[in-house]
Copies of this chain bind each other. A is one copy, B any other.
Amino acid sequence: MVRVGIVGGTGYTGAELLRILACHPEASLAVITSRTDAGMPVAEMFPHLRGRVDLTFSPPDTPALSECDLVFFATPNGTAMEAVPGLLTRGVRVIDLAADFRLKDPDLWQTWYGLPHACPELLEEAVYGLPELHREAIRAARLVANPGCYPTAVTLGFKPLLAEGVIDPGWLIADVKSGVSGAGRKATTGLLMAEVGESFKAYSVMGHRHAPEIEQNLSTYAEAPLRLTFVPHLLPMIRGIEATLYARLQRRDVELDELYRRHYANEPFVDPMPGGSHPDTRSVRGANLCRLTAVSPRNSDVVIVQSVIDNLVKGAAGQAVQNMNLMFGLEERLGLDALALLP
């Protein structure tokens, strides 16, 4: 039984971790902290957990964290990096669901996140927690950087094409769309239902923090410098990411369906669908799963990839639990076998 703590449990990522861990047969939830809501029963804030999660939010400085085998950080960017070194020293392993340990280059991190990194010496050690790329390293890791939601969908989508030299790395386009839960549970006018309901728009067209993370992931597989155009959009719905990816074919001797099936043949949480499919986000709602498909329309030298995940599950909390399973020698699927909720 893994003894687990959560730091910062009042956002959607924290709530989703609670939902998954409450049903996990080999995890025991020992402590959850909140700076603002310490003292409040968790089930009062999240009524869906009534009767199933009996914890009360603790203050962030609770010594109970040090007694955990594993601590998840579900905090805003810039918080985990202050506390992680201390926990590691005390032998606690860590999965950070924020961005603090995702980029290897501290200068790049500072450029995109606006403050100096507090423990750059840990960046090299931190393992990027996308099991489809780094499964073995995750098993042994003390510190896992759980990937961003967009990077999960985009990286899994482009990787087989780049790894086999099928596409030109110099002209990649990722047109991605996310439900509003991806923006978190902050009181912000721009996220009110009366603002984002029944409407659609792009945002951060001039640059988004997830672009360098994707570039870092994919550069490993590219034979030439990677050039990515990444445009996120906000969907009038709660959960789900769809990424439509465009690239130029530089080899035409490839059967795309076969390529994706082969690449993901042993992956429990990636479902390559046949060409001509149109994966929809609801088919992965609540499930730890990426469904994807790639096609090249007739007479075209463009390949189009569609990739869908639930941003809170395979894009955050589910992937974090998948990483926990790997780190503690558990069956990778444990606690993650829920089917998507459809309709």
Contact = CB atoms under 8 A, between A and B. Distances in A.
Interface string A280-295: 1111111100010001
Contact of A233 (B50, B203, B229, B242): B242
Nearest to A201: B280
Contacts of A233: 177, 242, 244
Contact of A192 (B193, B282, B304): B193
B199 A281 contact: yes
B246 A198 contact: no
B23 A339 contact: yes
A263 interface: no
Contact of A47 (B22, B181, B279, B337): B279
A266 to B, nearest CB: 13
B340 A338 contact: no
B19 A339 contact: yes
Interface residues of A, number: 83
B181 A343 contact: yes
A231 B242 CA distance: 13
Interface in A216-245: 227, 229, 231, 233, 235-240, 242, 244
A282 B198 contact: yes
Nearest to A294: B205
A174 to B, nearest CB: 10
B229 A23 contact: no
A304 B231 CA distance: 9
A314 to B, nearest CB: 14
Given A233-B242, A233-B244, 8 more contacts: A19-B339, A23-B339, A48-B285, A50-B291, A200-B281, A205-B297, A207-B297, A238-B343
Interface of A: 12, 15, 19, 22-23, 46-52, 171, 173, 175, 177, 179-181, 185-189, 191-203, 205-207, 227, 229, 231, 233, 235-240, 242, 244, 246, 248, 271, 273, 276, 278-287, 291, 295, 297-298, 300, 302, 304, 306, 308, 337-343
18 contacts: A23-B338, A48-B340, A49-B339, A50-B273, A171-B171, A181-B343, A187-B187, A187-B189, A188-B192, A191-B192, A195-B343, A200-B235, A200-B281, A201-B280, A205-B276, A231-B304, A236-B237, A285-B341
